[in-house]
Amino acid sequence: MSRFLNTAATMQQLSINGMEEASREGRREADLEHLLLALVISDQRAGTALRGVGITLDAARQAVRDQHREQLSQLGVEVEQDGPDRIVFHETDGYEWTDRARAILSSSTEDDGRGDASSVLRRLLDEPSGLIAEILARLGTTADAVREALNDAEHTAASAPLPSPRRRNWVHGRFESFVPAPIEDVWELLADAERMPEWNPMTGSIEADAEHQGSWIAHAPSRRPDGTPLKIKPEYRRRRLTQAEALRPTRVVWWSEYSDAPDVPPRMLAIVLTPTEAGTHATLTSTWRRRTGWRRL
């Protein structure tokens, strides 16, 4: 993936995660603290560094709440609860970054910045307001400790082996993510077919396949989380799922095919789980065979 695409993907993921955290507090503007929370769960080296100094998502959320309450208390305002305490970002709209948070994101691509999560974290640690330093102090660490952990994480990544070559005529798509939960809990979620709608956006509902024992029929969602109707072609509304492998607690493999679109190649989704600091690292690899021969014009 090119540097431009890497940067775009990083900014999108940080924006989604940061605004999700802002929505938990009933806010429409995501600020520096929400950017920090987004970095804590990043699957990139920035997230590895923050979790490596002992910062968990729950602890960081609590530190942010405490910081907000103290700031309001100094103004004579007492708050019982900051917001809905659940993510409502996908059910609502009108979210944006504050000017100072947007400046951090923009500066991560300037002056030789790579535009990755590590560059964002370095700029965030240098921000002059002192907010991030105060939150880190509540978490029992410092900006210098995080920088050192980030340097170590980048050094480790630089010495990692290159991926193995891929097979001809097969297409691969790979996605990595950090999940702030124990590996056993993550495996239980991903290995249970009936719970697939909880994590797979392509699955709205699921039921046992009456015609094929050991298989399930996954129905595409009819609406987005905000209630907007989805337009999906009839042949893509049903998928047959089969669990090809389930190795507790590190690996799950799902095989899927469109029941009403036999010309679409089946697809395999392999999920590998690795325990990490404060959670689980998940690597999802989707594989399908590329069509060969003449194309119909």
Per the structure, the complete domain to which residue 231 belongs is given by 170-289
Note whether 189 and 252 are same-domain residues: yes
pLDDT tens per residue across all 297 residues of the chain: 567 778 888 999 999 999 999 999 999 999 999 999 999 999 999 999 999 999 999 999 999 999 999 988 888 777 665 566 889 998 889 999 999 999 999 999 886 678 899 999 999 999 999 999 999 999 999 999 999 999 998 877 554 444 444 555 667 788 889 999 999 999 999 999 999 999 999 999 999 998 888 899 999 999 988 888 999 999 999 999 999 999 999 999 999 999 899 888 899 999 999 999 889 999 999 998 765 554 444
What CATH number has the domain bearing residue 99? 1.10.1780.10
212 in any annotated domain: yes
165 in any annotated domain: no
What CATH number has the domain bearing residue 180? 3.30.530.20
Whether the Cβ atoms of residue 243 and residue 252 lie closer than 8 Å to each other: yes
Domain end, chosen from 119, 134, 158, is at: 158
Of 191, 57, 236, 38, give the one whose Cα is nearest residue 120.
38
Q: Is the peptide bond before 249 cis (omega within 30 degrees of 0)?
A: yes
Distance (Å) of CA 270 to CA 61, 139, 179, 250: 31, 36, 16, 11
- Return the H-helix or E-strand segment holding 283: strand 279-289
Q: Is the pTM of this model over 0.85?
A: no
Note whether 138 and 181 are same-domain residues: no
Domain end, chosen from 101, 127, 158, is at: 158
Note whether 252 and 178 are same-domain residues: yes
Note whether 13 and 135 are same-domain residues: yes
Whether the Cβ atoms of residue 212 and residue 293 lie closer than 8 Å to each other: no
296 in any annotated domain: no
Note whether 240 and 279 are same-domain residues: yes
Note whether 111 and 253 are same-domain residues: no
Note whether 189 and 130 are same-domain residues: no
164 in any annotated domain: no
Q: How far is 55 from 58, CA to CA, in rounded Å?
A: 8
297 in any annotated domain: no
Beta strands 251-258; 29-30: pairing state? unpaired
